[in-house]
């Protein structure tokens, strides 16, 4: 079954915020981060049921991508730095 990948605004904002953080420290790292996120989203889109609702391998960056599935969509709810408090994204999985 083919599902549409949907990145919720909160997740987009988290990705942008993280990319900006890397930009301030090292612009090439920002590009690597965004490339790693794009690749992770591609893998989730290709095989969403291969992973649990958490996709933890965002290259060598300490991020996890949280998503939920419907019959027609893969909904990305967060791109979360793994050292942060998980309470900020848990409610979005419901």
Each residue's pLDDT tens digit in the chain (94 positions)? 689 999 999 999 999 999 999 999 999 999 999 999 999 999 999 988 887 655 555 667 888 888 989 999 999 999 988 776 666 555 555 5
4-93 is classed CATH 3.40.630.30: no
CA dihedral for 20, 21, 22, 24, sign (positive or negative): positive
pTM for the model stands at: 0.81
In sequence order, the 6+-apart residues with CB closer than 8 A to the CB of 30 are 19, 20, 22, 23
Closest CA to 63 of 14, 24, 27: 14
Which residue(s) pair with 70 in the sheet?
A: none
């Amino acid at each position: 079954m083919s599902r549409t990948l949907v990145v919720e605004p909160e997740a987009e904002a988290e990705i942008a915020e993280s990319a900006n953080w890397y930009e301030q420290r090292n612009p090439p790292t920002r590009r690597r981060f965004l490339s790693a996120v794009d690749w992770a989203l591609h893998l989730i889109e290709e095989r969403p049921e291969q992973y649990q609702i958490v996709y933890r391998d965002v290259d060598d960056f300490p991020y996890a991508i949280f998503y939920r599935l419907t019959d027609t969509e893969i909904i990305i709810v967060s791109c979360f730095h793994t050292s942060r408090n998980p309470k900020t994204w848990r409610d979005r999985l419901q």
